[in-house]
Structure 1
Amino acid sequence: MSSGVEADIALDAAVVLSLGMNRVLGRAGGLAGRGAEALAALAEGRAEARAAALAEVETQERALREVVERNARIAALAEARDRIGASVELPAPLALDERPAEELTAWCAATDRVLDEAERALSDHLAAEVTAQIFASAEGLTTDLERAEPVPEADTGDVRRTLARVMARLLPDAGPAERDAVAEAARLLASATTAAEAEGVLQEVRLRIQDANRRTRDLREAERRRAAEADAAAQAEAERRYVLDSITAAFEDLGYEVAGGFETLTASDGTMVLTKGAWPDHSVRMRVDDAQVRASMTRERPAESEDDRRVDAEREAEWCAAFEAARTRLADAGIRSEVGWRLDPGVRELPVTAESRHTRGRAERRERHRSRDQ
């Protein structure tokens, strides 16, 4: 890269936490109050105040995420309840807002108890429903056990209670295939003619319930992973957008025009072109990746004289000073940068930018400005 600079960038913890909190709350841009306080304390060298502000925003962000998890569990249990037709009361999801972290945590603890009880009630309902269906079959267990001499009539009720107790272990959000597999095994009780046969069937039901629950927990974990991956992607995008917006604001404050690079209309892809009204022949191409910013000054046409090369060196020096000023502004916004490579002004000839739609458009704008000035 000629006449350029490369710098590694990293976001301050206050920015990362604030962006996460904003996403949970459905906000766009800006820093949460305590996050802004943490950055201010960092700039002023107040370590103790910064630590306190960071701890508070971290606690708040964690509490909000716990509420999100409970809301998701409420939704999952409501879906299971509707699927099996149970009448079980569930708490309403909690609206996400800026109430104190202690209040959010207390709600989560109380909700956990209610949801645990609701899950048990749903499992009991499912067990009773399947058990009743099996014992109500035309040639059901009751008739068969009454005909079978080795099985006393009193054992019919015991088998039924045992089946209901075993079935209650089936998770209420088990999928249709898992529930069908368990019910298929349970129906074999209808043909059991001895207590030993009935116990063998019950053991098979237990094994199928274990397998169904394992599959259900695997599905839950897969869903949690998908949610975590989506959350991480959303967080990365929020951080990238924050960096791009902060860089744009910093250079615009320094008098630069910041536009999307090449054929893009915005800097959403991380590529930007910086220009100034007093730079008819120069621009800076900048690329912002996940953890690095790279910038290079370019010419719109080849240098043709010593005067052109002198102007190049002046523009490069101006740009280097602006970059350092921008680094200070970015540090105030919680974006740390460490220059890993730099090419001093005048060391190499500036590369010439191939004409692009962006270049033509900027030339046309300059021509319109000249026409208005005449």
Structure 2
Amino acid sequence: MSSGVEADIALDAAVVLTLGMNRLLGRGAGWAGRGAEALAAAAAARAEARAAELAEAGSADAAVQAVLDRLARLAALAETRAKTGADVELPAPLEPAGQSPDELRAWCAATDAAMDAAERALSEHVAAQVAAHVFGAAAEGLRTDLGAPAAPDAPAADARGVQEALERVLARLLPDVAEDDRRAVAEAARLAAEAATPEEAEGVLTEVRLRIQDANGRTRDERERAAAAEAAARAEDERRYVLDSVTEAFTDLGYEVHGGFETLTADAGELVLTRGGWPDHSVRMRVEGGGQVRAAMTRTAPAESEDDRRLDVEREREWCAAFEAARDRLAGAGIGSAVTWRLDPGVRELPVAAEKRQTGPRATPRERHRERGR
């Protein structure tokens, strides 16, 4: 073991699943509860089939992430269906607990096809709504302008042809475009409904196509931004889980843990570990966003004697034993670790921390002024 160490860490697929389901559904029962059951099942299986689990770990992690991505898309489609009032069937959400990676991948493949079909059906529903609205409005406007019903010899066949062409074009509009974009497309579609000649109608249909392309482009960009934001939020949930688990593990081992969530950034979180009998030593631990833990023991002041250096080695050995014990506890919480670098106790002098940790309450500016005046 070592007083300085780096270790790669990875969350078990069951933990990723549980955190992801909690994020999608809130911290309640249902899928999130079943995700917790999957975590417990994985922990029980670990002792019996660790080698097989490790061989499958990468595959399982990827499959779980794929399931979470599709569940998020499914939720978005359900929201769009509710907004448009469409009677469109959506695939049933998966209850992932107990599913193998192959079963998860099979569900993803089947669900992709079903969601694509549902999105097309939603687009067709929106297209029919818009076309019916604009043609109804155009016909009503014509009757109002003339003060009489439309003439029986009106070119109904031409109108039907324009409406059918318009519906085909409108069916390309993604169902979740923003309201402003939908309104802009509808305005252009209304001009097509009011066109006096086939040539004029075709020219307006071209404008409708262009507006749909622009609207779809913005919608796809927004989807990508939302997916990136969701991935970042999911990663932060995982970082927080690791920090919380590390904090709990070392607290149970008798350490005081400082920092944590207060020092959590987008890329890392830093912890400072101390013990009651360690007035001159502490351990600084950094949890990197990319899945790595770095830790090193430090001194509050330089070692000045051989006794100080012997004490350093003793503290380093204590820390080494605690780190191994913490790794076992973290494994039980679904956080695997593989040491990639270590420095044995006593190999080099301990570095001095840049700042001495303040153990008492921080003095206010007024209190510090009074102290200087004494």
TM-score, scaled relative to structure 1: 0.72
Specify which of 72, 79, 100 is matched with residue 75 of structure 1. Answer: 79
Q: In the TM superposition, what is the alpha-carbon distance from 1:339 to its structure 2 partner?
A: 2.0
Q: How does 1:44-123 map to 2 (within 5 A)?
A: 44-45=48-49, 66=70, 68-79=72-83, 81=84, 88=85, 119-123=123-127
| 2:211 maps to 1:212 | yes
Measure, in 2, the Cα distance between the counterparts of 1:336 and 1:99: 21
Specify which of 119, 131, 154 is matched with residue 135 of structure 2. Answer: 131
| 2:34 maps to 1:35 | no
Partner residue in 2 for 1:193 = none
Whether the aligned pair in 2 keeps the contact of 1:298 and 1:350 (CA below 8 Å) is yes
Measure, in 2, the Cα distance between the counterparts of 1:363 and 1:319: 28
Partner residue in 2 for 1:182 = 189
Measure, in 2, the Cα distance between the counterparts of 1:349 and 1:51: 40
Measure, in 1, the Cα distance between the counterparts of 2:187 and 2:118: 28
Q: In the TM superposition, what is the alpha-carbon distance from 1:327 to its structure 2 partner?
A: 1.9
Judge which range, 231-240 or 214-223, deviates more. Answer: 214-223
Measure, in 2, the Cα distance between the counterparts of 1:180 and 1:267: 49
TM-score, scaled relative to structure 2: 0.72
Measure, in 1, the Cα distance between the counterparts of 2:52 and 2:296: 40
Measure, in 2, the Cα distance between the counterparts of 1:161 and 1:363: 78
Q: In the TM superposition, what is the alpha-carbon distance from 1:33 to its structure 2 partner?
A: 0.7
| 2:237 maps to 1:234 | no
Measure, in 1, the Cα distance between the counterparts of 2:44 and 2:96: 23
Whether the aligned pair in 2 keeps the contact of 1:287 and 1:295 (CA below 8 Å) is yes
Whether the aligned pair in 1 keeps the contact of 2:189 and 2:208 (CA below 8 Å) is yes
The percentage of aligned residue pairs carrying the same residue is: 47
Q: How does 1:149-160 map to 2 (within 5 A)?
A: 156-160=155-159
Partner residue in 2 for 1:202 = 201
Q: In the TM superposition, what is the alpha-carbon distance from 1:312 to its structure 2 partner?
A: 0.7
Judge which range, 25-34 or 283-292, deviates more. Answer: 25-34
Whether the aligned pair in 1 keeps the contact of 2:20 and 2:68 (CA below 8 Å) is no
Distance 1:239 1:63, change over 3 A: closer
Distance 1:178 1:111, change over 3 A: closer
Measure, in 2, the Cα distance between the counterparts of 1:259 and 1:47: 36
Measure, in 1, the Cα distance between the counterparts of 2:60 and 2:342: 39
Measure, in 2, the Cα distance between the counterparts of 1:341 and 1:56: 27
Partner residue in 2 for 1:295 = 295
Q: In the TM superposition, what is the alpha-carbon distance from 1:201 to its structure 2 partner?
A: 2.1
Whether the aligned pair in 2 keeps the contact of 1:6 and 1:342 (CA below 8 Å) is yes
Q: Which of the pair has more CA radius of gyration?
A: 1
SS in 1 for 2:158: helix
Q: In the TM superposition, what is the alpha-carbon distance from 1:118 to its structure 2 partner?
A: 6.0
Judge which range, 118-127 or 232-241, deviates more. Answer: 118-127
Q: How does 1:306-325 map to 2 (within 5 A)?
A: 306-325=306-325
List gaps (5 residues or longer) in structure 2: 364-374
Judge which range, 241-250 or 29-38, deviates more. Answer: 29-38
Measure, in 2, the Cα distance between the counterparts of 1:237 and 1:65: 16
Partner residue in 2 for 1:372 = none
SS in 2 for 1:323: helix
Distance 1:96 1:255, change over 3 A: farther
User: Deviations along 1:335-357, whole A, 9 cap, x unmatched?
Assistant: 2222222222112222222444x
Q: In the TM superposition, what is the alpha-carbon distance from 1:98 to its structure 2 partner?
A: 6.2
Partner residue in 2 for 1:341 = 341
Aligned length: 337
Partner residue in 2 for 1:371 = none
List gaps (5 residues or longer) in structure 1: 82-87, 148-152, 191-197, 365-374
SS in 2 for 1:168: helix
Whether the aligned pair in 2 keeps the contact of 1:9 and 1:292 (CA below 8 Å) is yes
Whether the aligned pair in 2 keeps the contact of 1:24 and 1:65 (CA below 8 Å) is no
User: Deviations along 1:2-30, whole A, 9 cap, x unmatched?
Assistant: 95212222222222222212222212899
Measure, in 1, the Cα distance between the counterparts of 2:47 and 2:318: 26
Q: In the TM superposition, what is the alpha-carbon distance from 1:37 to its structure 2 partner?
A: 0.8
Measure, in 2, the Cα distance between the counterparts of 1:343 and 1:112: 54
Distance 1:176 1:240, change over 3 A: same
Judge which range, 5-14 or 279-288, deviates more. Answer: 5-14
Counterpart of 1:16 in structure 2: which amino acid? V
